[in-house]
Structure formats: structure tokens, C-alpha cells
Structure 1
Amino acid sequence: MSENKPTRDPFDAIADPTRRQLIRLLAESGEVPLHELTVHFDMGRTAVSKHLTVLKEAGLVVDRRVGRETRYKLNAMPLREVQDWLAYYTHFWTTNLMRLNLFLQEDEE
């Protein structure tokens, strides 16, 4: 496997819908060569490869050479940072919506 020292923010990497779709495909499929990923997009191999490079720089993808092809695999650990960040806002919205509900119930009485 290649060296995978994250140099890019995972939030930046998942900001693009194409990269989010690549993450989903890799999560569903395991280790996949570039040509199998490319068929899911309306773009060439070079463009898909550039998106994979961004994901790799964020530590979200690892790759390894098998003969003449490169296979890509998801490393979901950097998504933990995203999940932790979102968890705060889940709590924030749950708490505030409960307060709003109580306020509306009091207003009805």
C-alpha cells in the first residue's frame, strides 16, 4: 500500500459530490481498480483519478499497485472527525427543537 499521510482536510475532500460518491462506491465495493470506478461517472479516468488523489491526500483512500493497475480502498477513519463535528450539531438541533416544541405546547394552553 502507498504511504498515506493526510495533507488535506477531510471536510475539504468530502465537499465535492463526486468524491462523496466515490467514498460510497468504495464503502460498498471494497478494493476497486480505477477503471471500475470510472464507469460510474460521466468523466474520464484522469478526472476520476484527480478526485481519488484528493481523497488520498485526506487519508480517506489508500491505494496499491497490482500488476499494471492501481486498486483503491476506503479508509473511513478520517470521517470520524466529520462525524464528531456533526454530533455536536445533532445535539444542538435536538435540544433546540425540543425547546421549540415545549414553547409551542405552552402557547396552545
Structure 2
Amino acid sequence: MTSAAGAGQAPEDVLVALADPTRREVLAIIVREGGATSTSLAASLPVTRQAVAKHLAVLEHAGLVHPHRIGREVRYEADLRPLKRTRQWMDALTAAWEHRLSAIKDLAEGSSTP
């Protein structure tokens, strides 16, 4: 794993983490509430605390959440920077495809003219 700030998280880690609807809901709750424990998350979801802990581990690996120990509890807070970097990667990929498609269109239109 990379640094605690999530720097350099690979887009595929973020995409894998967000592929599961339960993980998306876990992240949404953490963002909405400003943080949460696995126990409070389990109370809000139709899954066990152990299942929530596994989902949190995937989100943490992607750099989307970070644990903070407060006494006996571990509170998770969101870090959406990896999501922003993934969006930037997707935007660049989209722009490259649009450029290629435009070039193909120009080529096709140019060759269809007598």
C-alpha cells in the first residue's frame, strides 16, 4: 500500500472498491456522517459488523477511507482524493478516445468525398 494520504492509488483499486454496492453505501454513509465505526455502519446496513470490516479493508486499500483509533473504537473517515484522481484518469481516457473517434470520422468523411 502507498502512503497514508492515499497518494498514488491505482485507478483499478478505486474501481474495484466502488464496484460493490455495499461498499459504495459504506463510503456514502461515512461521507454523509463525517466518519463512522464498523459497529455504527453495521447498524445502518443489512450486513454483519464482520462483513462491514471486510468492506472497510477494501476501501482502505483503495485509499478511500482511513482508520483513526479513539479509545477502544476505530473510526473511519473518508478521503476522496483517490476518487478525484480516478476521475481525472477517466477524463483523460475519454478525451483520448474522443480524439481518436474524431480522427476516424474526419478520415471517413474525407475518403467518402469524390
Please list the CA deviations of residues 42-80 of structure 1 after superposition, one character each: whole Å capped at 9, or x if unmatched. 111000000000000110000111111110000000001
- Report the alpha carbon displacement of residue 83 of structure 1 after superposing the two structures with TM: 1.7
- Report the alpha carbon displacement of residue 85 of structure 1 after superposing the two structures with TM: 3.9
Partner of 1:54: 58
| Whole-angstrom CA distance in 2 between matches of 1:19 and 1:47 | 10
Partner of 1:21: 25
Please list the CA deviations of residues 66-107 of structure 1 after superposition, one character each: whole Å capped at 9, or x if unmatched. 111110000000001232244354995xxx9xxxxxxxxxxx
User: Matched residue pairs, number?
Assistant: 93
- Report the alpha carbon displacement of residue 33 of structure 1 after superposing the two structures with TM: 1.6
TM-score, structure 2 normalization? 0.68
3-state DSSP of counterpart to 2:75? strand
Partner of 1:82: 86
Extract unaligned runs of 5+ from structure 1. 97-109
Establish whether residue 4 from structure 1 lines up as the match of residue 8 from structure 2: no
Q: In the alignment, residue 4 of structure 2 is paired with which amino acid?
A: N
3-state DSSP of counterpart to 2:44? coil
Say if 1:4 and 1:56, in contact at 8 Å, map to a contact too: no
Partner of 2:40: 36
Extract unaligned runs of 5+ from structure 2. 103-114
Aligned-pair Cα RMSD in Å:
2.6
TM-score, structure 1 normalization? 0.71
Say if 1:19 and 1:55, in contact at 8 Å, map to a contact too: yes
| Whole-angstrom CA distance in 1 between matches of 2:78 and 2:5 | 14
| Whole-angstrom CA distance in 1 between matches of 2:85 and 2:52 | 25
Please list the CA deviations of residues 12-69 of structure 1 after superposition, one character each: whole Å capped at 9, or x if unmatched. 1111111111111111111212211111211110000000000001100001111111
Runs of 4+ in 1 over 6 A off after TM superposition: none
